[in-house]
Amino acid sequence: MNWPQVELTDVERFRALAAGVPGAAVTERVLPYEPGQVKAMLADLDVFAEIHADLESATLLERDGDRVVVRAKGARGQRARLEGQFRPGWCWLQSRFVIIGTAVAAEPGGGTRVALTGGIRVPGRAAIVPIRVRQESAKTLDRLQRLLEG
């Protein structure tokens, strides 16, 4: 028996993952830059923290391949120990109270599609409080675009 084969981009995979998290709103934008350039910028934790609207800093504590543990400090002084996957073009990090996700894929016809989600996590559940998720993601995409332009 021949089963259909489907190749998904990281953004398509990301949408599926985020769809399983109540309250997660995926915000996307196509940027006029090569995927490698966007992935490289997002793979640098210092730049990653500068881009994300709610982060002040992100420090790598442990790495095993693409599995990481990151200590993050929020813009309002809150701290979190985030665990998950972090590699060029893909990020899914979560703590007890926070989820941060990013995916990048080449856009047919040129440019790079960037998808984001994140927010305050409902303790004990795979859910995000949906307040300001899209607004914060739009700010993050604006910051990324400005850094790529500079």
Q: What is the pLDDT of residues 32-66, one digit of tens each?
A: 999 999 999 999 888 888 898 788 899 999 999 99
- Domains in the chain, number: 1
Measured CA to CA, the distance from residue 81 to residue 99 in angstroms comes to 11
> Is 3 within the bounds of a domain?
no
Domain of 49 in residue numbering reads as 10-149
Contact 41, 47 (CB under 8 A): yes
Read off the CATH number of the domain in which 72 is found. Answer: 3.30.530.20
CA neighbor of 58 nearest in space, from 46, 42, 40: 46
Measured CA to CA, the distance from residue 35 to residue 32 in angstroms comes to 9
Please indicate whether residue 142 or residue 136 has the higher confidence score (pLDDT): 142
> Is 106 within the bounds of a domain?
yes
pTM given for the model: 0.89
Q: In terms of C-beta density within 10 A (0-12 exposed, 13-18 middle, 19 or more buried), how is residue 71 classed?
A: middle
Per DSSP, helices labelled H in the chain are 10-19, 35-42, 45-51, 133-149
Q: Residue range 133-140: average pLDDT?
A: 86
Q: What are phi and psi of 113, to 5 degrees?
A: -90, 130
> Is 110 within the bounds of a domain?
yes
> Is 2 within the bounds of a domain?
no
> Is 71 within the bounds of a domain?
yes
> Is 4 within the bounds of a domain?
no
Grade residue 13 by pLDDT with cuts at 50, 70 and 90.
very high
Structure token pair of residue 31: 């940027």
> Is 90 within the bounds of a domain?
yes
> Is 1 within the bounds of a domain?
no
Give pLDDT, residue 92: 96
